Amino acid sequence: MTNTEYYRTFFQTYGHRPEGVGWSSKKSQEEKFEWFDSVAQFNTNSVCDAGCGLGDLYDFILRRHGSANYFGIDAHLPYIEQAKRAYPSGTFIHADIFEIKKSDSADCVIASGVFNFRKENQSNYVKKGLRALASLSRSYIGVNFLRYHRNRMSDTSLLYSWKEAELLPVINSVSEIEVMHSNTTETTL
């Protein structure tokens, strides 16, 4: 199963709900958005939501701050089409994070879950992706990764989870970024 098929299945099953993009619940989605907002200060900074899914971060920023200097990008066209229908005042672009031009930069770039799908060389994929995100960001990148759970994830899973001891050296090898905060679920760059 490809990541496109994976997300299509979620969207067809759940529609425009957090579960439709792979979140476990609305509560977990909102908690993640609140964490990113507490660090990135969405009320004063422009935001690029890389891997925006259904555009719900845009809605969160509007509800919390009344306005949003925001644009979202996602490689899955059905998500972008739905985000445009749900939030017509938002800017949503169908593209891969590696295709966005530097002219489309923002103060902060949020990438929630974009590195969770298993790739042939996960470390190199993450390094390349972080460099692409760094080129879009004027000051801050917020990224989260799946935390490793021995009993939950297998080596054949479609999703990739990290042990923190594995992840931090990968992130630290990307010279364009500096880790400001890290715990087992979020890494602020």
| Rounded Cα distance, 182 and 189, in Å | 9
Phi, psi of 141 (to 5 degrees): -125, 130
As averages over each run of 10 residues, the pLDDT of the chain (189 residues) reads 83 92 89 89 92 96 94 95 97 90 85 87 91 89 77 64 83 70 47
Question: Residue 149 has what pLDDT?
Answer: 61
Torsion of Cα atoms, 28 then 29 then 31 then 35, to 10° = 140
Tell me, what amino acid is at 11? F
Beta strands 146-147 and 161-162, pairing class: parallel
Question: Residue 180 has what pLDDT?
Answer: 57
Q: Read off the tokens for 134.
A: 């760094």
| Rounded Cα distance, 125 and 36, in Å | 23
Question: Residue 77 has what pLDDT?
Answer: 95
Tokens 């960001």: give the residue: 137
| Rounded Cα distance, 154 and 188, in Å | 26
